[in-house]
Amino acid sequence: MSDAVSYSVRDGIAVITMNNPPVNGLGSVLRPGIMDGIRKADADPAVKALVINYTASQAAGLAKDGVRVNAISPGYFKTAINDAYLDSEAGEAMRKRVAFRRFGEYRELDGALLLLSSEAGSYMTGSTLVVDGGHLLSSL
């Protein structure tokens, strides 16, 4: 990982720390997206899509001030909250619907986090990157 950017995840929210201020702009807001907000597959797609649409709306409003607003929509990553479920029979069925046939590892979010929070993504705003191991490719 670059020395210019460090991150941590607290309560499911990526916290980005830029050690060097950006050259052309004030910075970057990076929010968690929700994968099913893109697929629109379950009973409340409007609620989940709200995060993605709000990201785009904020991006439009803050771009003039040099602030980029983007989201990452992760697939299934084991956490203390979902560990037991993902290890269950139902979790096994879910894993089989992921194109890579496995759940993600936190390090696999590094590329997306670095892109959206560093100068490498300085011309990106209103974007939602999906890091889901190909889960959205599966049939419902």
> For the chain, what percent of residues have pLDDT higher than 70?
66
Q: What's the whole-number mean pLDDT along residues 64-93? A: 90
Quickly count helices (H) and strands (E) in the chain.
5, 5
Residue 72 Ramachandran class (φ > 0 left, ψ -120 to 50 alpha, else beta): beta
Res 25: pLDDT: 57
Residue 92: CB atoms within 10 A of its CB come to 10
With 70 as the cut, is the pLDDT of residue 117 above it? yes
Taking the domains of the chain in order of start, what are their residue ranges?
5-133
- What's the CATH superfamily of 5-133? NAD(P)-binding Rossmann-like Domain (3.40.50.720)
Res 33: pLDDT: 64
- What confidence tier does 62 reach under pLDDT thresholds 50, 70, 90? confident
Q: Which residue has the tokens 């203390």?
A: 80
Give dist(CA 51, CA 88) in Å, integer. Answer: 29
- What confidence tier does 79 reach under pLDDT thresholds 50, 70, 90? confident
